[in-house]
Amino acid sequence: MKAFHFFSYALILVLLTALKPTEACEYAGSNITFVKTQTEKAISKNDLNLTRYHAFKALNAIEKSKKQMDDCGCDYAAIGMEESAYLLKRATKVSSLEDAKSLLKRVLINTDDSLSALENHHEHINISPSEELTQNANTNDDLEHESEIQRLADVFLKNKIDTALEKYRESLNKVVETINCAEAKSFAENIYEECEKELLTPGLSEGRKYYNFKTRKITAEALEKIGDCN
């Protein structure tokens, strides 16, 4: 049992400390910080044209960093930026400074959440922690507990994903409640289709399967609330 406890603690340590962000994640984080800075500048202006100018700069930064976001693989941060792009586009089109700032304040919340997601992004989603630990197992007793170690890994990872997706659910509900029906439906449908596409990707890790499955489920519930917009 001592060996089992040792590997259990080692597993938790691996999951909590994780690997350092990739270069793509660091680049994406830098761009999100720029988006946040430009959004703050947009909110600080009392001239609608200046507010739109900085909103456009923030929007361009999101568009230019899409490849890095994809390479990084942090789905939650990517979804946050997708919603931010949607909100920024609306902020550049509204005729009221007050409405623009209201939209931009939600962009700020998204950027903070996305940066937090990147900081806590664990690349172990793409690997099996139990495989790494099992490779180092030298006794039959260690190998006997492989399935239990995998169970612990699965539970820990799913809990992390569920926690992140609760924020996504809240954000999506706000879109459904406050945005034009047709636009909200289009936004949700795009996310649903991305999840469908991702789930068809060969060799998808269990973590990513679970993430996209749950995101698709939450988005489907939102689409049901939205209805046909008639």
pLDDT tens digits for 60-96?
Answer: 999 888 888 878 877 778 878 888 888 898 899 888 8
State what percent of residues in the chain have pLDDT above 70: 74
* Residue 156 pLDDT exceeds 80: no
State what percent of residues in the chain have pLDDT above 90: 16
- Write down the mean pLDDT value for the chain: 75
Determine the Cα–Cα distance for residues 133 and 138; give it in Å rounded to an integer.
10
Q: How confident is the model at residue 37 (pLDDT cuts 50, 70, 90)?
A: very high
Within 10 angstroms of residue 74's Cβ, the number of other Cβ atoms is 27
* Residue 44 pLDDT exceeds 90: yes
Looking at residue 227, its pLDDT comes to 87
Calculate mean pLDDT across residues 43-58.
Answer: 94
Looking at residue 20, its pLDDT comes to 42
Looking at residue 21, its pLDDT comes to 45
* Residue 134 pLDDT exceeds 60: no
Looking at residue 40, its pLDDT comes to 95
Higher-confidence position of 208 and 31: 31
Q: How confident is the model at residue 144 (pLDDT cuts 50, 70, 90)?
A: low
* Residue 100 pLDDT exceeds 70: yes
Each residue's pLDDT tens digit, 170-214: 888 887 888 888 888 888 888 888 888 888 878 777 777 888 888
Question: What one-character-per-residue DSSP string does 93-140 give?
Answer: T-S-HHHHHHHHHHHHHHHHHHHHHHHT--GGGGS-HHHHHHHT--SH
Determine the Cα–Cα distance for residues 38 and 53; give it in Å rounded to an integer.
9
First to last CA, the chain: 62
Each residue's pLDDT tens digit, 9-28: 444 344 333 334 467 788 88
Q: How confident is the model at residue 146 (pLDDT cuts 50, 70, 90)?
A: low
Looking at residue 28, its pLDDT comes to 85
Where is average pLDDT lowest: 2-6, 53-57, 63-67, 157-161?
2-6
